[in-house]
Structure 1
Amino acid sequence: MAVIRHTEQEVLLLARLMRAEAEGEGKEGMLMVGNVCVNRVLCDCLDFKKLRSITDMVYQSPGGFEAVQKSYFYQRARDQDIELARRVIAGQRFWPANFCLWFFEPSGSCPPTWYNQKLAGRFKAHCFYQPSPQDCPKVF
């Protein structure tokens, strides 16, 4: 059962975004980016109050994803990427991104906070940041 509403076109959109943002991090990294994406649709808090769909989340501006500005994002979704997108839409969560709304790739170590959000952990090159349960209860 899905944790967020979606269309088949949005599954493909999410699959393309996950690949474009984290293909170099492997399947696990792509799944973690997918967690952040799903959490943004679920949360209705902070910078993500007006997101009601995967499409809203992918194209959010400001505050969205850099990948949508790159040609790689616009390539067809592959079957393996689609399967990963379906997994996160179904509610599978992966530490450290399980409750996160943000991630980025620093040039060095992960700062303990980023935009006033607490570091949840690092996976390969990406640092993941989560809100507090008080700020965003729907994520938890």
Structure 2
Amino acid sequence: MRAEAEGEGELGMLMVGNVGVNRVLANCLDFRNIRNLEEMVFQRPGGFEATLKGYFYQAARSQDVRLAERVIKGERFHPASNALWFFRPTGDCPGSWYNQVNSGRFKSHCFFIPSAQDCPQVY
């Protein structure tokens, strides 16, 4: 979460955590048979881009662990509550991304949700 969104503050990191947890719960679309956080983070293609950079491999700080525990326990934060994707555009968030609806923006990241019909497990 830190490597993907440290510049977005704690709330931004929590939202990235929501996306990760949702991907494990979803078992739909790009995330079929992803059953744990490690599989989700390192999924190729589709996992977290930060794993390709050295910053990702720094030891987690105690505050990073506390944030991760919060999202694993079920805390959700809009617009990432039901999101399976996020990215950082150079401008405005598009209304959709790869046919997924934009659920909103937090600072630099845009979040995108599947339909409840396609992925009921994230709702």
What's the TM-score once normalised by structure 2's chain length? 0.99
The 4+ residue runs of structure 1 with deviation greater than 6 A are none
- Identify which of 62, 77, 99 aligns with 2:82: 99
Distance 1:80 1:87 in 2: 11
* C-alpha distance after superposition, 1:92-136 (max 9, x if no partner): 000000000000000000000001000000000000000000000
**Is the partner of 2:105 in helix, strand or coil?**
strand
Q: C-alpha deviations, 1:32-54, integer Å up to 9, x for none?
A: 00000000000000000010111
3-state SS of paired residue (2:86): strand
Structure-to-structure mapping, 1:1-140, within 5 angstroms = 18-140=1-123
Q: CA RMSD for the aligned pairs?
A: 0.4
Which residue of structure 2 lines up, in the alignment, with residue 5 of structure 1?
Answer: none
Identity %: 66
Deviations 1:32-87 (A, max 9, x none): 00000000000000000010111100100011111000100000000000000000
In structure 2, C-alpha distance between the alignment counterparts of 1:80 and 1:63, rounded to whole Å = 26
